[in-house]
Structure 1
């Protein structure tokens, strides 16, 4: 199982917005694209999903860009991934809305395993919010600075 670039880039973009949340200033997508090495066009596609899902709002104009619609501590990794990736359906018989799509679902010996994997993944992603990711990013930045050796 692998998350697509939509999930990875969506999370990285949202961390950029979270880092500017306290200032209350919209962040232009060009700035996010430059900071994260992501195509601006691709970011536009992601922003459509995130805006429609209510996680960001856009501000038009010369000083425009995007803002989080709520605090970074209120937006989880799960919220973001669900909006940009869609439902987390690991197999035909184990999907988010619990629809039975497989003829073997009532007798499948691995169905319980796939349910546990799905639930565990959701649990981890709902426990991590944007504020946590910003804290992690800051810790990484500081550790890289500490590793620098100047002559």
Structure 2
């Protein structure tokens, strides 16, 4: 009974080993197939960037950023758009004090560098070109003859 049992164990071991080899070959083939499929070729289209377009000003507006063309614009572009979109500046309206407070807040909390001699020029530019406007809601309509729609 001992030799017969040993024969059965060897036979079972060979079958198990054959099964394990089959599994390894199967998973190895699947891994190879999954990682070596032909990938679609991607052709990069070069983006045409012209420094002429970057410096272009039309109707008093710097085309690339939307900033109003005025003294201090370049310094404002260099210092403001290094961290955020020009739109973040152009959509806001603040007094000189408001712009100064915003710059100080960015320096204290957002790691904005010391603007040095440019700070005065930038503040003057922003206060002149992006100051609060008196425009608000339109005035209420008065002395209107209303009628009902049928």
TM-score range, shorter chain: under 0.3
Work out which structure has the larger RCO, using CA pairs closer than 8 Å and 6 or more positions apart in sequence: 1
Provide TM-score, normalisation by structure 2. 0.23
Provide TM-score, normalisation by structure 1. 0.23
